[in-house]
Structure 1
Amino acid sequence: MTKREKIKQSLLAKVPRGAINQFLSRDKASISVLFLACIVGVLAGLVGSYFEIAVHFISETRTDWLKDEITNFVPLWFAAFVISAILAFIGYFLVHRFAPEASGSGIPEIEGAMDNMRPVRWWRVLPIKFFGGLGALGSGMVLGREGPTVQMGGNIGRMVTDIFRLKDDDSRHTLLASGAAGGLAAAFNAPLAGILFVVEEMRPQFRYSLISIKAVIISAISANIVFRYINGQSAVITMPQYHPPELSALWLFLLLGVLFGVFGVIFNKLITLAQDMFVAIHKNDTKRYLLTGTLLGGSFGILLLYVPELTGGGIGIIPDITNGGYSANILLVLFLGRVITTLLCFGSGAPGGIFAPMLALGTLFGYAFGLTFTALFPELNMAPGMFAIAGMGALFAATVRAPITGILLVIEMTNNYYLILPLIITCLGAVIVAQLLGGQPIYSQLLNRTLKNEKLRQQDLPQ
C-alpha cells in the first residue's frame, strides 16, 4: 500500500459510515427529483400543447362551421349566440360543480399550494380545467390559455409526486413549482420566461435551493421541447424584426413605462371590483351563476361575428396591430373596449387566464403611443411597433410585478432581441411607478381574496 493510499484510508476511517450513507442517499434523492422533474415537464408540455391545439381548433373553425352548416336553418347571430352560450355553460358548470379552484387563472391557486394554504386536487382540476377552459375560451370570451396551462402544469407536478409516493415536503414543493414552470414554457414557447416566472414572480412561495432551481430548469426545457416537437419552433407571435432605437429616443420608452405603471395599478383594482360585481349579481346561487355566465358567453358569440377584435385571448390580433392596419384613434377605442371585455370575462370567474389579454392591451396602447410620438418626432426614425413590444412587457411588469419575466417573455414570444434595452427601461419604469402608487401584484391580490372568501365561508358554516 502506497503512502497516498494509507492517507486516504485513514481519512475515510475518520468519517462516520452513517454520514457517508446519508450523503449517498441524499444524492440519489436529488437525482430522482430531477428525473421526476423531467417527467413533469414532458407531461406539462403534452397537456399544454394539445390544450392550445384544441382551443385553436374550436376558435378558428366555429365561425366557418356556423356560416356553412347552420345559416340555412336559423339566423347566423342566433346560432352564434347559442353555440357560445353552450360552450360557456360547459365551462362554468364544470368549475362550479366539480372544482371551484379551477375558476379564473389558476396561478394564485398554485402559489397558495406552494405555501400549503390551498389544496391540490389534481384528479379534479386537470380534467375540469382542460375541458372547462376549452369551453370558456372556445366561446370567444376574452381569456388566455396561459394561466390554465400553468395551473395544469402545477397539478401534474403534484400528480407525479402522489404517483411515486414522495413524502418529502421539499421534493413535493419542487415538483409543484417545476410543473408551473413547464406549463408556462409550453404555453408561450418561452422556456426562459417559464423559469423566471417561478423564480421571480413566485419568489415569496418558492423555496430556493440548488436542486429546486435545477428541477425548474429541467421541467421548463422538457416542456418546451415537447411543445416545439408538436407545434414547431417558430415564435408564438409573428412580428417584424426591429433594430435598436436611437439612444435619444429612450426617454419615450420611460414615459410609456410610467403610463403603464399608473394603468397597471388601476387595472388590478378594476379586476377586484369586477369580481365583486359578479358576486353581487349571482350571490353565489348556482342557477344565477350559470345563467349569468351563459348569457355572457353567448354575447361574446355575437361579438365574435361582428367585432372580433374585442373577443378571444388577443394573441391573434397582435400581428394585425403591428402590421399597421389601425389608426391611433381606433387602437385607443379597441384598447378601452378590450379593457371592459377583459374585466367582464375574467371577473365572472370563468376558467381562463389574463396573461394573453394583458399582452393584447399592452400592444394596443403601445402601438397607439408609437403612432402618436413617431408623428411628433419624425427625426428619431422610430417604428411604432417598437412601442407595441415595449407595451406588452410594461403592462405585464406593472400588474404581475415581475419585470425580468416580462422582458424575457416578450423577447422570446416576438424574437425581437435587439429591443432588450428599451424593454428594460419601459418595464423598470412601470414597476417603479406601480410600487410608488402602492399597487399590489395581481396574483397575490387574487390569492388574498380567495383566502379571505374561504375564511368567511367557513365562518358561515354551522358549527
Structure 2
Amino acid sequence: MRPRYKNVKMFRRSRVMWGSWRIWEPRLVFWFGALAIGVISVLFARAADRAQELFDTLRHTTEFSPYLPLIITPLGFMFCSYIASTVFPNSQGSGIPQAIAARHLHEPQLQHRLLNLRIVIGKIALTIVGLFCGASIGREGPTVQVGASIMIQTARLGKMIQTKGLIVAGSAAGIAAAFNTPLAGIVFAIEEMSRSYESRANGLVISAIVLSGLAAIGLAGNYTYFGYASAIAVKPEDWLAVVICGVGGGVLGGLFSLYSLKAARRLKRWAQPAPVKRMALFAGLCGLIIAVIGIGFGGETFGTGYSQAKTVIEGGSINPGYFVGKLVATFLSLASGIPGGLFAPSLSVGAGFGSSVATVLGISVSLGAILGMAGYFAGVVQSPMTAFVIILEMTDNHDGIITLMATSMLGYIASRVISAEPLYHGLSRAFIADSIKYQRAQVRTTADDGAPAKEKDGPDAPRSA
C-alpha cells in the first residue's frame, strides 16, 4: 500500500498542474475553436440559403427575368474565379482537397498556405456569391476547409502540437455541423480525410464534433437534413433497384470523378501562360453554359439542388432528365475553379437518378431516390461508409440500413473500375505539388540572398510543428 504522505504529495502536485494556465490554455482555445465552427457553419448555411433564394426571386420578378442568368451567371463566375485567384489563393473548389493536402504536409508554413483565416473569409464569401449567381455548388465542402482552418488557428494560438489531428478534427466538425450528422463526421474523418486513422486523434475528433454540434443545435435546433423517410427494399423489384442504383450510380459517379480529374490537370496546363486571365475566361464560359442548362430545365439545375432532392425523397416527382442536367452543371461548376462544394449537388444528382429508376421499375420514388443518392455519392467520393452513414442520418431511415450499405458498396466497386483514384485525393495532389514548388522557391530565394535556408519565423508562421 502506498504511504499516505506520498498520496498527499501526488494530490498537491495534481492540484498545481490542473491549476496551471499552461495546462488549460490549449484546451480552452480548442473548445472555443470547436464552438466557433458550429456557429460559423449555421450562419454560413443561412447566408447560403438566402443567396439562393434571392437568385430564385430575381428570376421571377419581370417577364424577362428568366433570362437574367445569361448575364448574371457568367459574370458572377468570372468575378469569383478572379477574386479567388488574386485575393484568396487556395480557396478554389470544394475545400476538402486543401484539407487533405494540408494533412499530408509536414511544414506548418505550408499548411498555413492552405488553411488560414483569410481563406475562411474568402471561402464563405465567394461560395455565397456563387450561389447567388446560380452555380451548382454546395456549402458543405467549404465548411470542411473552414473548420480545418479554424482548428489550425487554434493550434497556433494554443501552442498545440497535434496539427494533423486538429486538421482532421476540424474537418469532421465541419461536416457534422453542416448536415447535423455527427456519426457521418466521425466516419468522414476516418475514411476520407486520412485513409489511415490515428487512434490518438479520437479525443480531438469526438470533442470537436460534440462542441460544434452543440453550438449548431443551439442556433438551428435539432433537425434532420432531408426530413424523415422510411424506405425499405421488400419486393424483388426493390432489390433490382438496389443493383441498378448501385452499379449505375457508381458508373456515373466514377465517370464524373475521372473526367473531373482529367479536366483539372489539362486546364492547369492550358492556363499556365496566364492563369488568372485564362481561368476567369473559362469560368465565364462555364457560367454561360450552366445558365443555358438552367433555363432549359426551368431553373431546377441552379443552386444546391436541395429542394429537388427533398421533393423526390418525400415521394414527389421532378423532370426525369433532371439528373443529367444537374450532373453537367455540377461538373462545369467544379471545372471552373470557383469556390463551392460537391456534397449537396451530388446528393441531388443521385436522388434524381434514383427517382427516374424508380419510375421505370414502378417502385417507391422515395426508395429509389435514397438508393440513387447512396450509389452515386459513393461513386463520386469513393467512400462507401461515409456515403451510407451520411444518407442514413440525413433521412433518419434506419430501417433501410442494409439496402443503403449494399447500394453504397456496389457504387464504390463500380466507380473504382472506372476511376482508380478517389476524386478528393486526386485533386489534393495538385495542392501538395504547388506547396512543394513554393517551398523550393523559398529555399532558392533565401540561398540567392546569401542567408541560410530556414523556416519562416514571424507573425504569419504557425507556432506548432
TM-score, length basis structure 1: 0.82
Aligned to 2:431: 450
In the alignment, which of 18, 26, 41 is matched to residue 34 of structure 2?
41
Q: What are the within-5 Å matches in structure 2 for residues 42-121 of structure 1?
A: 42-65=35-58, 67-68=60-61, 71=62, 75-76=64-65, 79-116=68-105, 118-120=110-112, 121=115
What is residue 173 of structure 1 aligned with on the other side? Answer: 164
Identity, % of aligned positions:
24
- Cα deviation, 1:67-121, whole Å, max 9, x if unaligned, reads 54xx59xx43564444434533442222100232110111111111112255224
1:106-155 per-residue CA deviation (whole Å, 9 max, x = no partner) reads 11111111122552241321111111111122211111111000000100
Distance apart, 1:311 and its partner CA: 1.8
Offset of residue 459 of structure 1: 8.4
What is the CA–CA distance in structure 2 between the aligned matches of 1:30 and 1:411, rounded to whole Å? 39
Partner residue in 2 for 1:294: 284
For 1:194 and 1:177, locate their aligned partners in 2 and report how far apart those are by CA, in whole Å: 10
* 1:406 aligned residue: 387
Whole-angstrom distance in 1 between the partners of 2:385 and 2:24? 29
- 1:385 and 2:366 correspond: yes
In the alignment, which residue of structure 2 is the partner of 1:372? 360
Q: Is contact 2:168–2:194 with CA below 8 Å preserved after alignment?
A: no
Q: Retained in 1: the 8 A contact 2:334–2:340? A: yes
Deviates more, 1:43-52 or 1:302-311: 302-311
Offset at residue 255 of structure 1 (A): 4.2
Q: Determine the C-alpha separation between the residues in 2 that align with 1:263 and 1:302.
A: 22
> Match of 1:142?
136
Matched, 1:190 2:162: no
Instruction: Write the mapping of 1:117-136 to structure 2, written as runs, cut at 5 A.
Output: 118-120=110-112, 121-136=115-130
- Taking a change above 3 Å as real, the CA distance of residues 252 and 85 of structure 1, as seen in their structure-2 partners, is closer
- Residue 104 of structure 1 aligns to a residue whose secondary structure is coil
2:181–2:394: 8 Å Cα contact kept in structure 1? Answer: yes
Question: Are 1:37 and 1:216, in contact at CA under 8 Å, matched by a contact in 2?
Answer: no
Letter in 2 for 1:49: V
Q: Secondary structure at the match of 2:3?
A: helix
Q: Distance in 1 between matches of 2:22 and 2:343?
A: 35
Q: Deviations over 1:29-74 (max 9, x none)?
A: 8876555443222111111111111111111023424654xx59xx
| Aligned twin of 2:463 | none
- Deviations for 1:318-354, whole angstroms, at most 9, x for unmatched residues? 1223355547xx42x2222222211111011110111
Whole-angstrom distance in 2 between the partners of 1:403 and 1:179? 21
Q: Secondary structure at the match of 1:101?
A: coil
State the partner residue of 2:331.
343
Is the CA contact (8 Å cut-off) linking 1:177 and 1:206 kept in structure 2?
no
Contact map agreement 1:49 1:227 (CA 8 A) in 2: yes
Which deviates further from its counterpart, 59-68 or 183-192? 59-68
| Cross-structure match for 1:379 | none
**What's the CA shift string for 1:148-205, capped at 9, x where partnerless?**
00000100101112222x1x432x2222222111111121111111121012222336
The answer to whether the Cα contact below 8 Å between 1:142 and 1:342 also exists between their aligned partners in 2 is yes
Q: Give, as a single letter, the amino acid of the residue that structure 1 aligns with 2:253.
A: G
Q: Cα deviations across residues 272-316 of structure 1 (Å, max 9, x unaligned)? A: 133245446644432232233235335545655553122212222
Give the SS at the match of 2:195.
coil
The 1:86/1:406 distance shift into structure 2, 3 A limit, reads same
Q: Which moved more, 1:88-97 or 1:278-287?
A: 278-287
Q: 1:363: Cα distance to partner?
A: 0.9
For residues 459 and 40 of structure 1, do their structure 2 counterparts lie closer, same or farther at Cα, with a shift above 3 Å needed? closer
Deviations 1:180-235 (A, max 9, x none): 111111211111111210122223364321xx212211211222222223223221
What is the alpha-carbon distance in structure 1 between the residues aligned to residue 232 and residue 286 of structure 2?
Answer: 43
Q: Which amino acid aligns with 1:341?
A: A
Deviation, 1:246, is: 1.6
CA distance in 1 between counterparts of 2:249 and 2:140 reads 22
Partner of 2:220: 231
Give the structure 2 partner of residue 441 of structure 1: 422
Number of aligned residue pairs? 434
**Partner in structure 2 of residue 207 of structure 1:** 198
Distance 1:184 1:77, change over 3 A: same
Aligned-partner Cα distance in 1 for 2:58–2:132: 13
The answer (yes or no) to whether the contact 2:190–2:196 under 8 Å persists in 1 is no
Q: 5+ residue gaps in structure 1? A: 1-6, 375-381
Which residue identity lines up with residue 287 of structure 1 in the other structure? Answer: K
- The partner residue of 1:270 within 247, 259, 265 is 259
Unaligned 5+ segments in structure 2 are: 446-465
Distance in 1 between residues matched to 2:288 and 2:38, nearest whole Å: 31
How far does the alpha carbon of each residue in 1:419-460 deviate from its partner, in whole angstroms, 9 at most, with x for none?
Answer: 111001111222234345562211111112333466678889
1: distance between equivalents of 2:172 and 2:25? 18
Match of residue 451 from structure 2:
none
Q: Does 1:320 align with 2:306?
A: no
C-alpha separation between the residues in 1 aligned to 2:217 and 2:288?
34
CA-to-aligned-CA distance 1:372-404 (integer Å, 9 cap, x gap): 223xxxxxxx42321211221222223322222
1:243, 1:418 within 8 Å by CA — same for their partners in 2?
A: yes
Match of 1:378?
none
Instruction: State the alpha-carbon separation in 1 of the partners of residues 101 and 161 from structure 2.
Output: 15
